[in-house]
A and B are shown apart, each in its own frame.
Chain A
């Protein structure tokens, strides 16, 4: 690949790996969510994210020209070759922890997709434009749940705080300058602060940011997730249903 295509390939991989891994995480709720309605809501968000991952990884495969499609990239790469941020691979924990992750991620992803939708690369911008609408809803869903749990009972409030505490150290990585995402920080900070204020919650204290996902250095959680996600296509190559 020429230099420019190489950059686009890696950019598309990062953009695709985030929704792919988060979608797989959210899917773990399927059949286990606290309410049927929540079960469906989380599964719907997961399906949106799988769709985005398919498009971005499909584009990466196209640019790479080695005959790898989105499925090959999703199911036949090993953990070191995944470049998703650490936030999305974090375990679901309880419902509040899942909401904390979604809240921090979707608000960031929405801002990012607005930028991608305005990108000069037409294939990227087309995917971004479609994704923005989906993510706007994800962010709305997560924001409302942060308020509901934070401003709810003593128990729900304590769980929401614990969930945010767990996820907070992984937010620094979102503004890694590698994709020019650093410029999103001010607007993201404002959004997060606004919803937390509405929820009557304080901003978690600054923590040393955990980084490395963009370079393939992951937490111990990703390997387990991939084992489950990749098992079938690896055990039964070419399986169809």
Chain B
């Protein structure tokens, strides 16, 4: 039976104002069952206030074979980090 149930990816919003974060996956026959399984599996210790479930099959992943082309070029462009600005004294909350 377990082989017939598709996999769902679970995203949990920990608090209002935060974005949903990937928490793991569950097996379920339909979306409603997936929400309940996710509730029972990932929010039983008050981890969340909202859930998303997405059929795992709906996710398109980047190809590990293309990792060099996709991600390497960013590695020598440290100037893209906003670390070259001097912050005036007295400015808070940065």
Using a CB–CB distance below 8 Å, which chain A residues touch chain B?
34-37, 40-41, 44, 140-141, 144, 148
Contacts and interface: CB of A to CB of B under 8 A. Distances in A.
B28 A37 contact: yes
B83 interface: no
Contacts, number: 29
Nearest to B44: A44
Identify which of A35, A44, A140 gathers the most chain B CB atoms within 10 Å of its CB.
A35
A180 B27 CA distance: 42
Contacts of B40: 37, 40-41, 44
Interface of B: 1-2, 5, 26-29, 32-33, 36-37, 40-41, 44
Contact of B1 (A35, A41, A141, A144): A35
Contacts of B26: 37
Identify which of B5, B28, B41 gathers the most chain A CB atoms within 10 Å of its CB.
B41
Contacts of A141: 36
Query: 7 tightest A-B contacts by CB?
Result: A37-B37, A41-B40, A40-B40, A44-B40, A37-B26, A40-B41, A35-B2
Contacts of A34: 1-2
A41 B37 contact: yes
Nearest to A39: B40
11 contacts: A34-B1, A35-B5, A35-B27, A36-B27, A37-B40, A40-B41, A40-B44, A41-B40, A44-B40, A144-B32, A148-B29
Nearest to A140: B36
Contact of B41 (A37, A140, A144, A148): A37
Given A41-B37, A44-B40, 18 more contacts: A34-B2, A35-B2, A35-B5, A35-B27, A36-B27, A37-B26, A37-B27, A37-B28, A37-B37, A37-B41, A40-B40, A40-B41, A44-B44, A141-B36, A144-B32, A144-B33, A144-B36, A148-B29
Contacts of B37: 37, 40-41
A40 B36 CA distance: 10
A10 B44 CA distance: 32
A35 B5 CA distance: 10
Nearest to B8: A37
Identify which of A34, A37, A148 gathers the most chain B CB atoms within 10 Å of its CB.
A37
A44 B41 CA distance: 9
Nearest to B38: A37
Contacts of B28: 37
Contacts of A36: 27
A39 B47 CA distance: 20
